[in-house]
Amino acid sequence: MAKENEFGTAVTSPESRASDDSGAVGGRSSLLLALAGFGLLSLGDGLTKSTAGLWPGPAVAALRYSIGAAGLIAILLWTGGRAALSMPRPWLQVGRGAAVATSTFCFFVAVQVMPLATATAVGFTTPMLTAIFSAVLLGEKAPWRVWGVSVMAFAGVLLVLQPNFAGLGLKALLPLGSAASMALLMILNRAGAATGSPLLMQALIAAIAAPMLIGAALLAHLSGAPEFVIGIPPLRVVAAATIVAVTASAAHWLIYLATIRAAAALVAPTIYVQMLFAVVVGWMFFGDLPDSLTLFGSALIIGAGLWLFRGEVRR
């Protein structure tokens, strides 16, 4: 607490300085936790991309979520017994599972056919899409800022995806489909808030998404397209899917720890550092360097996200 000395100058007490120092340390540790979490997510994306040509993307997604669901259910049983395996509001959980299954399907195929930085950049449109869907589907009043940042973000998307259309055609839209599905998941998560523990909600979403992804992988296999034909998975693919299942859970846990130790206003913008991680991973392991058009489009998307976030913090 600040006090005045005999000259009228404010002097900070030792207790106040200690409190400020501990707050600063807490803020730095939260940032480090968040950065570690987003770094792990980018590492997982890189491992997913490394399976390109070895096994179909839909099958890799199904394997990753099957492993993740098994692990999360095992943890639930170990910590809470069979009583912990409940399903509040079943249809809502099915919707959440379908949304994450669709998002994962699109993203896993996308990172196998395009640069990692491109798929990551388009994924940053999720906050803008969530705001739009909330206005359209839930009737929530959207400030003018939402429409402004949305126009800015989608201009960036066009710039990022434009070089990929020539070679990929409609597949270039896969990252946008992933972002839209994730935005729907955000709305469903809001509707199901406080219906269960974070661990239960994460286990439910994985347990529901896994069979959906298995079904999607089988349908893609039956389509006869060579890139979707499922054979016996190489050990390298199984190892990659297992590591991604573990690192993704660890990443979300680190980000969760960061958000409970510091204000969301401090932690949330660090998500955009994931773009830097994606560029580095793509360059070091796959030789993918984004061109100037992709970087400019990514800057527009990230700028739109920060503009939207700044407005929400002020409100």
How distant, in Å, are the alpha carbons of 164, 181, 274, 314 from that of 206? 31, 15, 23, 35
Helix (H, G, I), strand (E, B) or coil at 192: coil
**pLDDT confidence of residue 103:** 94
Closest CA to 173 of 212, 122, 223: 122
Residue 275 CB partners (closer than 8 Å, separation 6+): 117, 120, 121, 124, 298, 302
Residue 18 lies in a domain: no
**pLDDT confidence of residue 75:** 92
Residues 191 and 91: beta-carbon distance below 8 Å: no
**pLDDT confidence of residue 19:** 47
Domain that holds residue 179: 31-314
Residue 22 lies in a domain: no
pTM for this model (two decimals)? 0.82
User: What percentage of the chain's residues is helix, strand, coil (to nearest 5)?
Assistant: 80, 0, 15
Residue 1 lies in a domain: no
**pLDDT confidence of residue 127:** 82
**pLDDT confidence of residue 100:** 93
Residues 173 and 310: beta-carbon distance below 8 Å: no
Residue 203 lies in a domain: yes
**pLDDT confidence of residue 239:** 96
| Number of independent structural domains in the chain | 1
**pLDDT confidence of residue 146:** 78
Consecutive 10-residue averages of pLDDT for the chain (315 residues): 45 48 60 87 93 94 95 92 86 94 94 90 87 80 78 87 77 91 87 79 92 96 92 95 92 80 67 86 88 88 82 61
Residue 17 lies in a domain: no
